[in-house]
Amino acid sequence: MTEKFHYDNKIVRNFALATIIWGIVGMTIGLLIAMQLFKPAMNMGSQYTTFGRIRPLHTNAVIFAFVGNAIFMGIYYSLQRLLKARMYSDILSKIHFWGWQLIIIATVITLPLGLTTSHEYAEMEWPIDIAITIIWVVFGYNMFGTIIKRREKHMYVAIWFYIATFVTVAVLHIVNSIQLPVSAFKSYYVYAGVQDALVQWWYGHNAVAFFLTTPYLGMMYYFLPKMANRPVYSYKLSILHFWSLIFIYIWAGPHHLLYTSLPSWAQSLGVAFSVMLIAPSWGGMINGLLTLRGAWDKVREDPKLKFMVVGLTAYGMATFEGPMLAFKQINAIAHYTDWIVAHVHVGALGWNGFLTFAILYWLIPRIYNTTLYSVKLASFHFWIGTLGIIFYAVPLYFAGFTQGLMWKEFTPEGLLKYPNFLETVLQIIPMYVMRAIGGALYLTGVIVMTYNLVKTMKAGQLVANEAAEAQPLPPVYVAQGDDKKLHRMLERKPMIFMVLSLIVILIGGMIEMMPTFTIKSNIPTIASVKPYTPLELQGRDVYIREGCVNCHSQMIRPFRSETERYGEYSKAGEFVYDHPFLWGSKRTGPDLQREGGKYGNAWHYNHLYDPQTMSPGSIMPPYEWLAEQKLDTTTTRVKINAMRTLGVPYEKGYEHQANADLEQQAKAIAADLQQNNIKVKSDKEIIAIIAYLQRLGTDIKAK
Amino acid sequence: MKEVINSNWSTGSTSADIVIGLMLITAVMILCVAILMLKVIKFYVKESVNPTPFATPEEKEKRRLEQQALQAIKDKKPSIWTKLMQLKPLEEEKNLVMEHKFDGIAELNNPTPAWFMILFYGTIIFAIGYLLTYDVLGFGKSQEEEYIAEIEQAAESKVAFLANPANVKNAVNENNMEQSKDEAVIKNGASLFANRCTPCHGEHAEGLVGPNLTDEYWLHGGKAKDVFKTIKYGVPEKGMIAWEKSLSAQQISDLTNYVLSLKGTKPAGAKAPQGNKE
């Protein structure tokens, strides 16, 4: 007495189309920002298309739109088949699909407008954050509904990974999004400085772990054995690497903050757990590659399997490189350089990209009940994609290494060999050109794939509802033999499984974060550090809006090369009023932590208005509009109030006086500019940002 | 009396040495020939007692098959890769297949390879060692201690550098600076000026954001020592950058000399005088 039912292929198709479309969009923006790095004119003279504003658009589009939709495509396809059940609710599936697309569209609109929280890979403002939470719950509800009404006794390893993905991303997103709104599209993070940095990188690192890794491992466990028609190599290995991976990954975030003012014990935890991650990460790779044992002849002919093999290899390389980069000594050279950019792209282009392509090539012909239009074109895609990755990564490794060493080089006189930061940038510009060529090759491959898949779809007909049948689960299940073993039992209990995963990932997160939040001695206070003036606070928000943090760090590490170049190294106590922290993660330009007082106001004005005048050859785009746009001072009051709520000690009632102080400070700066023959009204945004820049790092300056 | 050089290998006479050498070589050759001869005699005796008949085509075929079987056994021996990964032969796979399939996907119950477990436990032990070193036992230097050591090291090297008479020029500072009109010095200063100073002072030092440097008026003193000091430490409140971190003492001195040489050049578009006449 088998039951007859239908798989929902339409939702899979929709997510597949979204994957392709957003993939092209995200990668095109990537190509644009890559070109902006050697040709500032590509910023197109508009504030909506400058590097600072659209770089987050690229990362979010690729991570959450391209990879996100690919994850849902893979999960909706494999989950139904692995559980022998249609998705729990068609309506929830639809809400999930359209909700996710709307979130992406909202992001595409708001980020170029400068509405950003500045937390990397989570730049969206609070209304979008709430929408993400709701849609994520819809997805989870739909998934667990399906799992519960399944016709398969046990949950296959792919599903374990899907469950871990769901719970962890939920926790990450919520903890990282706790903000205090000040208006419909502006908010301040509740955390400040060091704590905010820790939360951000706990989130940022685990977005890589639980959005770019675990769901893909799950998909690998379904699609690879299907494509190769081979059994999965080792069930034991899947259990071991699943639990060790999710337990250990969550601790490794602080390796993004080595040599910063994060307490030393937290940094060490980050390093130690990164090293322990090698084996669990590789567990997935070897289980995949060994599944291909006895099928290597197929790999030679089938582009899908080629994509899979290169994808898995890229995963293995990136997950070996990660722990290596987490060593203090290597991190000291690589951090803030393009080395890191190359590293993440080996993962993104190789692992996520190639696995996605393989799945698309496999899945589209199946749900359209036809064969792939052209295997040759798919092969071409494979080769041009691989070439693209090589062209992308190799020059950037070289660039990162070169620049990292140049920053640290001293002359025999004891001076920096390259005191001018720009010199080190000009050195690597040819590498940036090569990288853009690599990106263009990769994108070409994707466009070829799109053509191939469209032709395939046209040749076939979508099987929107695919007939299937299976035995229902017996109402009472009596375990026998191997089914009595512990993990087998767990595989029959989805809710317990979810709670266990949750506990496993919470342990690391709690142990790392709680002490930083509760123990005062971790962040020694500095009496001379005072809150920002209203004008500086507004200027800081302009700085955030323009995405300056994408190119400039505000974290001087305790190295001779950095204190010589920038000034005294950063202390944890300096950032206690920084909601959010703005330490940055990549230096395309110099660090700005001690910028205050280094140059005159006129220098900053000229530099912002046209960077080339003050720094010939600079790749920073001109920010002319800052000198034309009026600073919005109507928000000063709510901002001061919000900051006070968050613990910044503005006196009671100061919000009423704030704008008067703001005007006074602005007038003083305008008058100083006037003396240097620069005529600008005191109510312009440029005045505020100059005020902020001149304040940076001055609180603890000697004298 | 000259002592004869005598090593263990030499009798002291060259001709005697050569003769001994040749005799040794001949002895080794005779030994080789003797061994070969012995083998030939053994073979001859064996064949005379028990001669081998000529092989028929069937026998040849049989031998070929035997050879083939031997080769096949050899092929079956696991490769280094298989051994390294501790893989079981593919034929044994069916014994490892687990009882049920998921949408047609079977799972094998291969054990996790030993090397993998060594890697896994190895990294755990390493991580514990790392934490103990840096944060429990305090053997490892903290980043602040590393920084102090780095700075001390740099200070020592600088002292050593200045102690070398060839580098004495670099010992110049705002107290011992003397003006020089040496052409090479001025030329060097000019190229430094073109690279670093023109954005603010103009191409010919006529003054843009910064003041005119060609007139007789000075904001912070116009003597060589004053100019040196202004360049070295800057006047941050007025926008003049401190150059001590990016220019060597000698470079600052050259630059000072160049600036002083500009007095009275009257460039076009000169900025109005600022400061006091000197």
The per-residue DSSP string of B95-139 comes to HHB-S--BTTB-BBBPPPPHHHHHHHHHHHHHHHHHHIIIIIS--
Nearest to A599 among B105, B123, B241 (CB): B241
B89-123 burial code (b ≥16 CB/10 A, e <16): eeeebeebeeeeebbebbbbbbebbeebeeebeeb
Q: What is the pLDDT of residue B258?
A: 92
| pLDDT band per the 50, 70, 90 thresholds, residue B1 | very low
How far apart CA B87 and CA B75 sit, in angstroms, is 15
Q: What is the pLDDT of residue B95?
A: 82
Nearest CA distance, A193 vs chain B (angstrom): 19
Residue with the bigger pLDDT between B213 and A702: it is B213
Q: What is the pLDDT of residue A358?
A: 98
Mean pLDDT, range A675-696, rounded to an integer: 94
Residue in B79, B96, B98, B105 to test binding to A, most A beta-carbons within 10 Å: B105
Nearest to A414 among B93, B123, B154 (CB): B154
Phi, psi of B97 (to 5 degrees): -65, 135
For A602, the token pair is: 């006129």
Beta bridge partners of residue A189, listed in sequence order = A179
Residue in A152, A220, A275 to test binding to B, most B beta-carbons within 10 Å: A275
Question: Residue with structure tokens 């922290």?
Answer: A581
Q: What is the pLDDT of residue A519?
A: 65
Q: Do A232 and B108 touch (CB under 8 A)?
A: yes
Give the whole-number percent of chain A exceeding pLDDT 70. 99
pLDDT in tens, A170-218: 999 999 999 999 999 999 999 999 999 999 999 999 999 999 999 999 9
Using an 8 Å CB-CB cutoff, list chain B residues near A422. none
Q: Do A279 and B116 touch (CB under 8 A)?
A: yes
Q: What is the pLDDT of residue A613?
A: 86
Q: Do B106 and A276 touch (CB under 8 A)?
A: no
What was the ipTM of the complex prediction? 0.91
Interface of A with B in 286-305 (CB under 8 A): 286, 290, 293-294
Mean pLDDT, range A317-323, rounded to an integer: 96
For chain A, what is the mean pLDDT? 94
**Could you tell me if B149 lies within 8 Å of chain A, comparing CB atoms?**
no
Nearest C-alpha in A relative to B145: A558
Nearest CA distance, A525 vs chain B (angstrom): 17
Cβ contact A644:A650 at 8 Å: yes
Within 10 Å of residue B143's Cβ, how many Cβ atoms?
20
Residue with the bigger pLDDT between A582 and B9: it is A582
Of A387, A650, A652, A390, the closest CA to residue A536 belongs to: A650
Nearest to B130 among A225, A244, A272 (CB): A272
pLDDT in tens, B153-177: 999 998 888 888 888 777 888 888 8
Q: Which H or E run contains A181?
A: strand A179-183
Within 10 Å of residue A524's Cβ, how many Cβ atoms?
11
Q: Is the pLDDT of residue B79 over 80?
A: no
**Could you tell me if A615 lies within 8 Å of chain B, comparing CB atoms?**
yes
| pLDDT band per the 50, 70, 90 thresholds, residue A527 | confident
Q: Is the pLDDT of residue B4 over 60?
A: no
Nearest to A415 among B111, B209, B248 (CB): B248
For B229, the token pair is: 């000091």
| pLDDT band per the 50, 70, 90 thresholds, residue A701 | low
